[in-house]
Amino acid sequence: MARETERRKQLHNKVEDLKGKIRVYVRVRPLSSKEVERACAEAVASEGKQSVVVQDKKNGANRTWDFDQVWAGSELGGNTQEAIFKDTGYLVTSAVDGYNVCIFAYGQTGSGKTFTMFGAGGVGGGMNTATGECGPGAGVAPRAVGELFRVLKERQPQYTYNVTVTMFELYRDGLRDLQARHGDGAKLVIKLAEHSGTGLVVVEGGIETVANSVKDLVDTIAAGADRRAVSSTQMNADSSRSHLICSMVISSTNTRTGSVVRGKLTLVDLAGSERVGKSGAAGEQLKEAQSINKSLSALGDVIAALTSGSAHIPYRNHPLTMMMSDSLGGNAKTLMFVCASPADYNTSETINSLQFAARCKDVTNSSVAGGAAQLQALQRELNRLKAPENGTAPKKPAQLGRPV
């Protein structure tokens, strides 16, 4: 039984690896009321579950991209928070198994990143923190927290756990601890994994909070998210002007052997890219926008280096890429949501975002040769192991991931 459990866990993570280093999901939100007022037409649609088509009027042609998943249109058509997490939640298990997992949202300002990552009504909105159950509006973060504690509970008492959370925002290239009270800021220094002594990126001077329950974790994340820099722009009434980086480190101890594995689940809600002329940014907002665009271009450079198999990955070029360095490339499992507006008014930004996403997918393609057939075979075996009649529902983790 223990051997089968171990095999199931190995298969789960192998299947995830075969699916690619960076999984790319595209989410196109419905037209906003502003876009409707502006009489915008819908220029972006899904075609099947994995293709997105953009009517590029400027070039008089339709352009199509393929990704791992595409959701577009209304909730009635299946573009729901629940459906999105259904294809995301498995990564939480990988973090408990000892992997570094990063889920991040990228896209134009006002395209739905915060909505996707946190949800309508904020982090705790629409969630019963006593049971971990989420209402329809809850985004990835509260659902991931619920799933995390569900998996931890399932694996007790063979394992005991320690979950800690850190939360930072990167605003105009400066790092701010979202758990520190205003004005309390200690000096923060980013230590890359190879220098931190833990094998993970660590922010020296940052606050690390222990979370023993769904409520602890959701309350901590919600309080941090409330401290984030937000302002009203022409493109979005509640525009996030900073990158938010929330990391949960999960240490699990095998109560029989005493061995410990540690995984990290990082959720990143990036600040929105924007064309400064169009967004009407001036003065301080212009400086904000320029700094956001600079950081996103550093992220693009890291992705490009990973894509080309370059020996040097320029993580050190920006605090954003330093913060994400243990979650992008290497053994990490990364999922990127590319959020987009459907409006023709935003076509050129949508095309830019999809081009960025297509580059990220190439990191995927470099992973394993002959992967498709292998993936199918492993998936079949995994399904067999998960079948109820063989009674091997996963109960305890094997020693995967990096021993501490």
Q: Give min distance, CB of 274 to ligand ATP, in A.
A: 8
DSSP of 190-247:
EE-HHHHSSSS-EEET---EE--SHHHHHHHHHHHHHTS-EE--SS-TTEE-SEEEEE
Spell out, one character per residue from 328 to 367, where the chain touches ligand ATP: x when CB under 6 A holds, - when not: -----------x----------------------------
State the helix-helix crossing angle for 140-154 and 214-226, rounded to 10 degrees: 160
For residues 174 and 270, what is the distance between their CA atoms, to the nearest angstrom?
14
Q: Give min distance, CB of 137 to ligand ATP, in A.
A: 9
Give the binding range for ligand ATP (CB under 6 A) out of 27-35, 62-70, 169-177, 275-283.
27-35
What residue type is 198 in one-letter code? T
Let me know: does 323 contact 201? Beta carbons within 8 Å. yes
137 interacts with ligand ATP by CB under 6 A: no
Q: Give min distance, CB of 26 to ligand ATP, in A.
A: 12
Which of 166, 236, 247, 346 forms a contact with ligand ATP (CB under 6 A)? 236
Other C-beta atoms within 10 Å of 299: how many? 22
Cβ-proximal residue to ligand ATP, closest one: 272
Which of 110, 122, 263, 329 forms a contact with ligand ATP (CB under 6 A)? 110
113 interacts with ligand ATP by CB under 6 A: yes
For residues 207 and 259, what is the distance between their CA atoms, to the nearest angstrom?
26
Which of 13, 32, 69, 327 forms a contact with ligand ATP (CB under 6 A)? 32
8 interacts with ligand ATP by CB under 6 A: no
User: What is the pairing mode between strands 174-177 and 189-191?
Assistant: unpaired
Our CB check for ligand ATP shows the closer of 178 and 332 to be 178
Let me know: does 218 contact 227? Beta carbons within 8 Å. no
Name residue 163's beta-bridge partners: 250
For residues 57-86, which are near ligand ATP according to CB under 6 A? 79
19 interacts with ligand ATP by CB under 6 A: no
Helix residue spans in 231-370 (DSSP H): 276-279, 283-307, 319-323, 347-365
239 interacts with ligand ATP by CB under 6 A: yes
Specify the 3-state DSSP secondary structure of 270: coil
88 interacts with ligand ATP by CB under 6 A: no
**DSSP code, position 43:** -
Q: Give min distance, CB of 186 to ligand ATP, in A.
A: 27
What residue type is 98 in one-letter code? G
Which of 5, 16, 35, 107 forms a contact with ligand ATP (CB under 6 A)? 107
Q: Give min distance, CB of 358 to ligand ATP, in A.
A: 19
Q: Give min distance, CB of 260 to ligand ATP, in A.
A: 36
Our CB check for ligand ATP shows the closer of 208 and 226 to be 226
**What is the Cα 245 distance to its own chain's centre?**
10
What residue type is 404 in one-letter code? V
For residues 285 and 296, what is the distance between their CA atoms, to the nearest angstrom?
16
Spell out, one character per residue from 240 to 279, where the chain touches ligand ATP: x when CB under 6 A holds, - when not: x------------------------------xx-------
**DSSP code, position 39:** T
Q: Give min distance, CB of 29 to ligand ATP, in A.
A: 4
Let me know: does 256 contact 158? Beta carbons within 8 Å. yes
In total, the chain counts a number of residues equal to: 404
Our CB check for ligand ATP shows the closer of 112 and 124 to be 112
* 108 is an annotated ligand-binding site residue: yes
- Using CB under 6 A as the criterion, which residues of the chain lie in contact with ligand ATP when the complex forms? 29-30, 32, 79, 107, 109-115, 120, 236, 238-240, 271-272, 339
